Amino acid sequence: MSRIGKLPIAIPSTVTVTYEQNRVKVKGTKGTLEFAPHSRVIIEIKEGNIITKRQSDEKLDKSIHGLTRSIIANMIKGVTEGFEKKLEIRGVGYRAQMEGKNLALALGFSHPIKYTPPEGINIDIDKEKKNILTISGTDKQVVGQVAAKIRSYRKPEPYKGKGIRYVGEFVPKKAGKAAAGAKE
């Protein structure tokens, strides 16, 4: 039995969960999310809990059992609390600004990079520290994907540390070239 999959998911009082036609629909204060679980996972809603079960002990069933439970638990957390990722921009002349709903990034290229976030994703720039971006939304997967996409425009480089990184991310520094006359 899956250690994660066997745990029941408590449904808060502010959340409505329905399971119809092989679709789980979670509705809360921050929005609505839908998920179509694999047909080999059995989902039961009773007594304010969601219980996931698998049909057999085949390898496929075992692999999707815990995954399905985690996705549904993240949906409930997303519609109640939401998810966020923070990115930090480091480098001279590197900056970000919002142009309406779009994000404009100046990252040392000859042109600014324009990024339009998907529906349900908010991007905020810290007013005091202009180099901190906060990406927030209800869907954990989409928030992580947007953060990874923005980070991919200029990954942190190991010599000077310039680029876009997650807040708290450690980027190991490499030593530069040794002095030219150091051979002996």
What are the sequence ranges of the domains in the chain? 9-80, 83-166
Spell out the residues 6+ positions from residue 106 whose beta carbon is closer than 8 angstroms to its own: 93, 94, 95, 96, 112, 113
CATH superfamily, region 83-166: Ribosomal protein L6 (3.90.930.12)
User: pLDDT band for position 5 (50/70/90)?
Assistant: confident
| CA 182 remoteness from chain centre | 47
- Which tens digit of pLDDT belongs to each residue from 14-64? 999 999 999 999 999 999 999 999 999 999 998 899 999 999 999 999 889
Rg (CA), the chain: 22
Model pLDDT, residue 75:
96
User: Does domain 9-80 sit in CATH 3.90.930.12?
Assistant: yes
Cβ partners under 8 Å of residue 51, min gap 6: 8, 9, 43, 44, 45
Q: Choose between 63 and 86: higher pLDDT.
A: 86
pLDDT of residue 133: 95
Q: What does each C-alpha distance from 182 to 85, 174, 175, 177, 178 come to in angstroms? A: 45, 18, 15, 11, 7
Evaluate whether 166 touches 88 at the Cβ level (below 8 Å): yes
87 has pLDDT over 70: yes
9-80 against 83-166: fold identical: yes
Average pLDDT, the chain: 92
